[in-house]
Structure 1
Amino acid sequence: MPAPLSRRDFLLRSGVVGCSLAASPLLTPLSFAAAPWDTRLVVIILRGGMDGLDVVQPYGDPAFAALRATLSGGPEAGAHDLDGYFALHPGLGALMPMWRAGDLAFVHAVSTPYRNKRSHFDGQDLLEAGTASLSGARDGWLNRMLQTVPGVTGQTAYAIGRENMRLLTGAADVANWAPDAELELSPQAERLLDLVTESDPAMHAALSEARILAAVGDRTKTKRSPDHVEIAEFAALQLSRESRIAAFSLNGWDTHNVQKRGLGNALGRLSETLLTLQARLQSDIWDKTAVVAMTEFGRTVRQNGTQGTDHGTGGLMVLAGGAVRGGRVFGDWPGLAEGNLYQDRDLMPTGDVRAHAAWIMRGLTGVDRATLEGTVFPGLDLGRDFGLLL
Structure 2
Amino acid sequence: MDNHITCEGGLGDDLVHVATAPGEARLVVINLRGATDGLDAVQPYGDPALRALRGPDLSVGPEGGAFDLDGFFALHPALETLMPLWRAGQLSFIHAVSTPYRDKRSHFDGQDLLATGSANRDRPDLDDRSGFLNRLVACIPGATLQLAWSSGAMRPLIANGPAPFSNWSPTTQLGLTEADIGLLRHVYGADPGFALALESAVLSEAAQGGKTAARSDAAFVARQLVAEARIATFSIDGWDTHAGQAGIIASRFRQLAQAILTLRDGLGPVWDKTVVVVVTEFGRTARANGTGGTDHGTGGVAFLAGGAVRGGKVHGRWPGLTDLYAGRDLMPTADVRDYLAAICHAHLGVPADLLSNFVFPGASVACGLVAA
Q: TM-score, normalised by structure 2?
A: 0.82
Q: 1:175 to 1:362 in 2, by over 3 A?
A: farther
Structure 2: 5+ residue stretches without partners: 8-19, 177-190
Could you say what secondary structure the match of 1:282 adopts? helix
* Counterpart in the other structure of 2:287: 302
Aligned match for 2:91, one of 78, 99, 104: 104
Please tell me whether the aligned partners of residues 82 and 88 of structure 1 are also in contact (alpha carbons under 8 angstroms).
Answer: yes
Per-residue deviation, 1:209: 3.4
Please tell me whether the aligned partners of residues 138 and 163 of structure 2 are also in contact (alpha carbons under 8 angstroms).
Answer: yes
* Counterpart in the other structure of 2:325: 342
Please tell me whether the aligned partners of residues 179 and 230 of structure 1 are also in contact (alpha carbons under 8 angstroms).
Answer: no
Could you say what secondary structure the match of 2:27 adopts? strand
Q: Is 2:308 the counterpart of 1:323?
A: yes
Could you say what secondary structure the match of 1:85 adopts? coil
Q: Is 2:351 the counterpart of 1:364?
A: no
Q: Match of 2:324, as an amino acid?
A: L
Structure 1: 5+ residue stretches without partners: 1-20, 24-33, 186-203
Per-residue deviation, 1:207: 3.6
Q: Is 2:266 the counterpart of 1:274?
A: no
Q: Is 2:102 the counterpart of 1:115?
A: yes
Could you say what secondary structure the match of 1:44 adopts? strand
Per-residue deviation, 1:379: 2.5
Structure 1 residues 1-390: aligned runs within 5 Å? 35-70=21-56, 71-133=58-120, 134=123, 135-154=126-145, 165-173=156-164, 206-211=193-198, 213-214=200-201, 227-283=213-269, 285-337=270-322, 340-382=323-365, 384-385=366-367, 387-390=368-371
Per-residue deviation, 1:225: 7.8
Q: What is the Cα-based RMSD across aligned positions, in Å?
A: 3.0
Please tell me whether the aligned partners of residues 28 and 275 of structure 2 are also in contact (alpha carbons under 8 angstroms).
Answer: yes
Count of aligned positions? 334
Q: Match of 1:281, as an amino acid?
A: L
CA distances 1:3-29 after superposition (whole Å, capped 9, x unpaired): xxxxxxxxxxxxxxxxxx968xxxxxx
Which runs of 4 or more aligned residues in structure 1 lie more than 3 Å from their structure 2 counterparts after TM superposition? 157-165, 173-185, 211-218
CA distances 1:213-268 after superposition (whole Å, capped 9, x unpaired): 457889x89xx986211111100000001000111110011011010011111111
Q: Match of 1:131, as an amino acid?
A: S
Work out the CA distance in 2 between the residues paired with 1:246 and 1:266.
Answer: 21
Work out the CA distance in 1 between the residues paired with 2:32 and 2:268.
Answer: 25
Work out the CA distance in 2 between the residues paired with 1:335 and 1:158.
Answer: 46
Per-residue deviation, 1:315: 0.5
For the pair shown, the structure with the greater C-alpha radius of gyration is 1
Per-residue deviation, 1:211: 3.9
Per-residue deviation, 1:164: 6.7
Per-residue deviation, 1:37: 2.1
Q: 1:216 to 1:114 in 2, by over 3 A?
A: closer
Per-residue deviation, 1:159: 8.8
Please tell me whether the aligned partners of residues 158 and 176 of structure 1 are also in contact (alpha carbons under 8 angstroms).
Answer: yes
Per-residue deviation, 1:371: 0.6
Work out the CA distance in 1 between the residues paired with 2:192 and 2:113.
Answer: 38
